[in-house]
Structure 1
């Protein structure tokens, strides 16, 4: 798949998320206010945060597709991981706000929400689960941190909607049966939603930060790369191979040993052949090859 095709698919997914979240946030907020449901209002705020999240992903993808330049010779791939961090931070703030709003409801008079709130929540669950599956599959296909994090943001909305559904349902049953304490299940669900959102934000943010800090692939993940290098007959030894994740692609720093009696021109040809083989590998964006004279006693 070409780079342009990759970004077109990813940008479309981000824009689709923005449009759907705007509709869901407005529907859930309006029905939440009408039905008097704290849990549904909290869920609407969660969907509204997804708008900002999808927008951050879209802007990150736009930046990531820019070609290398003088200031960014390795490209702009990390823009995707940075946008994923922004999404995680937004989720964290939203989680705290939902929790704060729900806790204050315990200190005010409360009544069971209207039944229409359940319809809104079920509709949200169906739409958000479909959006999660679509974005997660595409994120894996395109190796995009930003899309995968954004997909899990939609999945967290599914979980929060399930919690809201349980809370709203229990509160309505409590109102019908005259069980006053059960009516507080609605704000309890709001608190549960907030904790789920905070946990999701922490997990996704930690992973994105890890990928941003020049994470290198573990040795077991570079076996295919090593095999490609060793397939070049003149390579005597791989002294060092660091495959750095740079957003959706990988940059390789490589040191190899060749016959010390080779001419500079012959060594350059070997390095060029190794580089060409690696660039044919999936997701490898650039390769820097250092040639060492082979020495049986040399460990570097």
Structure 2
């Protein structure tokens, strides 16, 4: 199961990498040949995506390495680091797109062409298909690097949609004599920069939360707690917490069991707790349990 999830995640990232290379060439060529600021900006954004996807690919490979003496908890956070790197790439891309669009606003409107519109439309459809594919794989494998790649594709969907709208408005403005519409291209670029900034913030916030070892959502903790309470020998739950470590979860808990139990009985209870939680949630790879003595009459 773990091997299959790893293979699916790697395949999704490889497909994304090849697609980003092809789309970057198409967008930059069309943007330069037909002087389209929004398409040129989108092409530069795609070039940044190549770097981000390579980082995601590398981190996905590293994160699947088993624990060793230097990394006893595994290498799962390599994916989180890559996710944070993607957010930085998106911020830089958003700032560049915004700056180029503002510069274009202060220059005479260029002559629009149908070719950039076709290139933007192809990119929109291509990126939407990639987003749907990678978000499904990312959620199925809980791979932070694949999820970051998926959201990077979503940013490209925004950019391509704005490019289609901006170039389309420019063509309509030239045809119908709408002076304001001839600046639809750079206006769309500014909107794209804001959308990409928002997406970068969301990816970066999630990465920081995991690196700071924030607790998993309350409903997940409640689920674990209910599983533990269903075990007869558990008399008290003193503490339960869990944290994401990249694509997997680690659970820490302290529970009370009858104080007269032997070490063997305590060991069997710990194993039962671990099996209950790991069978119920395939993302959990480690459950660390501390047993406290409980005696009749205690709260």
Tell me by how many angstroms 1:49 deviates: 2.0
1:48 positional shift: 1.7
| CA deviations over 1:125-176 (Å, ceiling 9, x no partner) | 1100000000011111111222222112111111111111111111122223
Q: Which residue of 1 aligns with 2:96?
A: 97
Q: Whole-Å Cα distance in 2 between the matches of residues 162 and 263 of structure 1? A: 66
1:253-268 equivalent positions in 2, closer than 5 A: 253-268=252-267
Distance 2:123 2:186 in 1: 19
Name the SS for the 2:26 alignment partner: helix
* Range moving further from structure 2, 282-291 or 85-94: 282-291
Q: Deviations over 1:242-268 (max 9, x none)?
A: 121111111111111111112233223
Give deviations 1:167-203, integer Å, cap 9, x for gaps.
1111122223444443222111121111111111112
Q: 1:15 to 1:205 in 2, by over 3 A?
A: same
Report the Cα offset of residue 112 of structure 1: 2.2
Equivalent in the alignment of 1:74: 73
Change (3 A) 1:297 1:72: farther
Q: What is the RMSD of the two structures over their aligned residues, measured on CA atoms? A: 1.8
Structure 1 residues 298 and 99: alpha-carbon distance in aligned structure 2, compared to 1, 3 A threshold: farther
Query: Separation in 2 of the partners of 1:15 and 1:161?
Result: 21
What is residue 190 of structure 2 aligned with on the other side?
Answer: 191
Q: What SS does the corresponding residue of 1:222 show, helix, strand or coil?
A: helix
TM-score, normalised relative to structure 2? 0.93
- Unmatched 5+ stretches in structure 1: none
Deviation for aligned residue 1:226: 2.3
Task: Find the aligned partners of 1:248 and 1:215 in 2 and give their Cα distance.
Answer: 14
Structure 1 residue 295: Cα displacement: 4.2
Q: Distance in 1 between matches of 2:76 and 2:31?
A: 40
Task: Tell me the matched-pair count.
Answer: 298
Q: For the Cα contact (< 8 Å) 1:252–1:288, is it kept in 2?
A: yes
Provide the residue aligned with 2:37 in structure 1: 38
CA distance in 2, matches of 1:118, 1:70: 54
> Are 1:294 and 2:288 matched, yes or no?
no
Conserved in 1, the CA contact under 8 Å of 2:56 and 2:79?
yes
SS of residue paired to 2:67:
coil
Number of the residue aligned with 1:23: 22
Moved more, 104-113 or 49-58: 104-113
Contact 1:81 1:212 in 2 (8 A): yes
Alignment of 1:98-117 (within 5 A): 98-117=97-116
**1:123 Cα deviation from its structure 2 partner:** 0.6
Q: CA shift at 1:22, angstroms? A: 0.7
Q: CA deviation at 1:34?
A: 1.3
Does the Cα contact within 8 Å between 1:121 and 1:164 map onto a contact in 2? yes
Give the TM-score normalised by the residue count of structure 1: 0.93
Unaligned runs of 5+ in 2: none
CA contact (8 A) 1:114 1:172 kept: yes
Say if 1:59 and 1:261 are closer, same or farther in 2 by CA, change over 3 A.
Answer: same
**What's the CA shift for 1:230?**
2.7
1:1-300 alignment, distance < 5 Å: 2-281=1-280, 282-295=282-295
- Contact 2:210–2:243 (CA<8 Å) still a contact in 1? no
> Deviation at 1:110?
3.0
